[in-house]
Structures are given as structure tokens and as C-alpha cells.
Amino acid sequence: MSERVDVFVLEIPLRVPWTTAMGTVTARRVALVRLGDDVVGWGEAPPFPGLDPDLDLEELRRGSMPPTFAAAIDQARADRDARIADLPLTSSEVAHIPISFAVGLDDPVGRVAMAVAGGVSRLKLKIAPGAVRHVMSVREAFPEVVIGVDANRSFTTPDELLALSDADVAYAEEPFEDWGRSAAVLAETTGIPLFSDESLRSLDDLEVLLASDAIAGITIKPGRLGWTKALQAREAAMAAGKYWRASGLLETGIGRAYADRLASLPGGFLSDVAPADAYLVEDVAPTRAGAGEIVVPTGAGLGVTPLPERLEEFTVARATIQIS
């Protein structure tokens, strides 16, 4: 039986340019999906430029199912089904999670100073070849904060990264294109736990990653895996004795709510949770941030829906499609 899906393509400017080893983004183009009739579920397809296939409405009408769109459909089904059952998407005693603020390569020390002044105590700093020194600068200026780093697979050797052993780095995400000898050297020499990120796109990837001795844990993105596989990835990581952390893809508050729900479950390691409007000029969902913390959604299903007026403001294209 086919199901109706309403697709809203949004384009939202960023507050400041988002620069990483992959390039610079100044606006975020994502798609929200609404599935169902009387009771609806919401999901978000957040393809990231250079990493994920773009969403083409005509291709979607013809039955195309790019990975982030498939993930959004899975999210929306989980949300709808939980709402119908009048159950929360997750049950957890965790009501608040410390914000983990991700900082790009544009004025990283200045951005960190603003975040810390706002009560943030966990940071993830983007790094790239030739752009590592700011990690030490942040550590020297803010000795008490938790620092993780994300290289977006930009390094070819561990040489430049070895200096991070003096920066008290809590973890490093995806330093290299592969998980061979360079990763092993970096982990052994610095003692920094290494996490997969871009390399986790499917459950087949998961099996390979969890078998690698170089990897201490996995970063799970519901926006890339979907909700069902995100939960499976968490369970597999714990069964393998590996760390896991929840994260997102520079999404709106809908996509971020899935990461927050996942992060609220037991066993997470310094998950990436932050308000969407810390990066976007405005979120399409109500903010859940305050005093350096994110409030975990409550209520049936995801517990979050878009504000109609903001959805209308940032929608640049829409379509209704049928999926099987």
C-alpha cells in the first residue's frame, strides 16, 4: 500500500559561514517530510554538500530514494507510529544534555569564547591540514572545557596531528580517508579515542568499522542512517564494547530532535547536541536550549513539530509524492 508524503524543501541562511576541511557553506538546504493523514510524523533529509546526493523533487516523484531521504522517511514513520500509540520515541530519565558546540575554521577562538560565555562546556573543533594550532589556543584559553576535534577525513599522515596529544583532546572524528596504519599510529601515540563519522553510512559499514582495532567508537547520525538503523548501530556498538555518540548534519530542530532523543539513551559518549538556531538564522521548530543545556523532547512521538509560519517562510519548493 502506498503512503502520502509531503516534502518541503527549505533554504535557511547560516548566522556565520560554516568552514571545514570540505569547504564553506553559507546557507543550509534541507527537506522536511510529513508522512500520514490524520496522525502525521516528521523527518528531515539533510544532504550535506560534497557528501550526500542532492534531493531532486522530480526524481523523488519518479521513485528515487536517496539515502538521506530514505532516512527521513524512516524517521517520519517512527514518529507517526509512536504518536498513534501515544508513546514517546524514546523513554529516558535524561531530561537535559549539556550543549556540545561545533566550531568551524572561521575565527574558531572567537567563536569558542562566545560559546563559553553562553555557558557551553563541550566543544567540537573542526581541523584541517595547516589548521590545527587553534586547538592548543583554545585549550590554553579555556583549560576546563571538553574538546573534541573533527578532521572530515582531510589528513593523509598522522604527523601534524601528533601535537594534539598535549591538548587534552577527548576524541577525534574521522582523521583519514581510511582506517589503516595512520589511524593506528595516531591512536597509539596520542591515546586519543578515534571515532568514525562519514564512513558510517549503512549497517554494512558498521560491521567493518566495529571490527577495526583503530576505532574506539562510532558517531551515529539519524539524518544519514534513519531512526531504525541509528538504534541498531547504538546496540551493535555497545555489544562490541565500543563507544557511540549521537550527532547531526547541520539540521533544523526537527533533525536535531532525533539526535537529541538518541543522545538521551544510556551509554552515549559526549554526543553532539546544540540548538539549530546557534547556526541557522532561525529554526523552524521551537528552541529547546537554555543555560548551556538542551532540553530533551517529551511527549508522544518525536515530541517536536515545525512552526507553520516558519515552515512557510523558509520553504522554497514543495511536492506531494506517493511511496510504497
Q: What are phi and psi of 316, to 5 degrees?
A: -110, -15
Calculate ∠ Cα 181-183-186, nearest 5°.
110
124 noted as active-site residue: no
Edge-to-edge strand list for the sheet holding 40-45: 40-45, 23-36, 3-20, 315-323
Cβ distance 193 to 216 under 8 Å? Answer: yes
The position carrying cell 512557510 is: 312
The pLDDT, as a whole number, for residue 280 is: 98
Alpha carbons 295 and 75: distance in angstroms, whole number? 20
Cell 596504519, residue located:
181
- Structural element, H or E, at residue 134: helix 133-141
Residue 1, pLDDT above cutoff 80: no
The H-or-E segment that residue 137 falls in is: helix 133-141
Rounded Cα gap, residues 229 and 231, in angstroms: 5
How much is the pLDDT for 290?
86
CATH topology of domain 96-295: TIM Barrel (3.20.20)
CATH number for the domain running over 3-88+305-323: 3.30.390.10
| Domain coordinates in residue numbering, the chain | 3-88+305-323, 96-295
- Catalytic residue, candidates 124, 221, 229, 242: 221
Contact 317, 60 (CB under 8 A): no
Please give the angle made by the CA atoms of 91, 290 and 95, to the nearest 5 degrees. Answer: 15
Pairing of strands 122-126, 3-20: unpaired
Res. 2 pLDDT band, cuts 50 70 90: confident
Average pLDDT, the chain: 96
Instruction: Please say if 126 is a catalytic residue.
Output: yes
Q: Which amino acid is at 127?
A: I
Q: How confident is the model at residue 208 (pLDDT cuts 50, 70, 90)?
A: very high
- Alpha-carbon radius of gyration of the chain: 19
With cut-offs at 50, 70 and 90, classify the pLDDT of residue 205: very high
CB-based contacts of 62: which residues, under 8 Å, 6+ apart?
none
Q: CB–CB of 263/274 below 8 Å?
A: no
Residue 43's pLDDT is what?
98
Using one digit for the tens of pLDDT, what is the confidence trace for 62-101? 999 999 999 999 999 999 999 999 999 998 889 999 999 9
Whether the Cβ atoms of residue 183 and residue 208 lie closer than 8 Å to each other: no
